[in-house]
Amino acid sequence: MSKTAWRANTAPFATAFWSSRKTPCCRPIGTSKAASRPGNRGNPHSRFCRPWLVGPKPHRRALASLAFSAILQAGRCRAAHPAAATVAVDIFLETFMPSSRIALLTALASLSAPIAAAVAQDAPSTAPPAAADQVLLDEPPAPPQPAVTAEGPVRENYEDGKVRVERRIRKMSDDSIVNHGQFTEYYRNGQKFAEGAYNNGVMEGEWSYWHENGQLGKKVVFKNGQPDGAWESFRADGTLHAKRSYKEGKRDGTWVTYYPDGKTQQLEQTFADGKLNGVVTVYFPSGKPRMTTEFKDDQRNGTVTEWDESGRKLAEAVYVNNLLDGKLTRYRPDGGSSEEFYSQGKRIPGPADGAK
């Protein structure tokens, strides 16, 4: 082996070896602290000092002995340098005769195992971390329902001592108070305003409402606190004001509002699932239509048409999502008309824009 090759091979090994000797647990086997000091000629390894290792004529057997000592040392202490062990193996292979290399490789494999284990333990793992097991906690138990501790009638009065409310209540174990049973509320003049029943704080069954003059205003049926079914409302003079319909608390079906005569329709609407869906018609007192509008989900979608009281058409337009979209036609008393064109609520020129 040439001098240059020996220098290249031994320099990193010597550096790592002497760096490891600074740690007490990494002293060469069989040496004392005093004998381990660099430059001590009494040290069995003193001939392996740094200048000698990188010198021009390294001793092959001495160098092999040094490598063997470093491997044993690495097995004892995890502070050993993997780079030093690698160079030591190369030196072994080049120092001993080929016939002895198989036995040496077997010995080196057993000696280098602690080094590999130490390096593997210190090196950060490149494998993805295992997903943490999902921790499922039991749902907390539902709080117990408050129990009834007392029940009975209660009366509340106006300032002048007249009755304002008569009701039955329940006092619960959580100190809350709920209406339960018959409920009646009065005007100041003593006339009934409302009458119905509660079930554990929820309106249930038929409820009646009156005007202050004693005239029935409306009767509404409640289910689980929500209006449900068809009902009528009346004005204080007894004329029909409106017909309504609910389904599970939502407006449903045809709603009609009447003029004061109680017979002529003023407004007709159609609801589905609580929203306007269908044609909404507004009427003149004469009963003739004044305007019709097509709705879908509470928004104008479709044709809107307007008339005067004589029945002459005044205008017609198309809406999409509550915005003018398409042609708007205005009709004049002389029989003529004009057209305008819109796109998403904005006016645009059209092929027939202008009067004709």
Res 277: pLDDT: 95
Tokens representing residue 37 in the block: 């000091």
Show pLDDT as tens, one digit a residue, over the chain (356 residues).
554 554 455 454 444 444 444 444 444 434 444 444 444 444 444 444 444 444 444 455 555 555 555 555 545 444 445 555 555 555 545 554 444 545 454 555 554 555 445 444 544 555 555 555 666 777 888 888 889 999 999 999 999 999 999 999 999 999 999 999 999 999 999 999 999 999 999 999 999 999 999 999 999 999 999 999 999 999 999 999 999 999 999 999 999 999 999 999 999 999 999 999 999 999 999 999 999 999 999 999 999 999 999 999 999 999 999 999 999 999 999 989 999 999 999 999 866 555 44
Find the angle CA(344)-CA(347)-CA(350) to the nearest 5 degrees: 110
- φ, ψ for residue 116, nearest 5 deg: -60, -40
| Cβ within 8 Å of residue 13, ≥6 positions away | 53, 67, 70, 83, 84, 87, 88, 91
- φ, ψ for residue 278, nearest 5 deg: 120, -165
User: If we measure between CA atoms, which residue out of 32, 13, 12 comes closest to residue 24?
Assistant: 32
Instruction: Report the predicted TM-score, pTM, of the whole model to 2 decimal places.
Output: 0.57
Tokens representing residue 25 in the block: 């647990």
| Cβ within 8 Å of residue 238, ≥6 positions away | 215
Instruction: Give, for 117, the enclosing helix (H) or strand (E).
Output: helix 98-122
Instruction: Yes or no: say if 91 and 64 are a contact pair by the CB < 8 Å rule.
Output: yes
Instruction: Yes or no: say if 114 and 121 are a contact pair by the CB < 8 Å rule.
Output: no
Find the angle CA(271)-CA(273)-CA(279) to the nearest 5 degrees: 25
Look up residue 304 and give its amino acid: V
DSSP of 160-174, one letter per residue? TS-EEEEEEEEEETT
Please count the CA atoms within 13 angstroms of the CA of 18 that sit on its side-chain side. Answer: 17
Find the angle CA(143)-CA(147)-CA(151) to the nearest 5 degrees: 150
SS3 (DSSP) at 191: coil
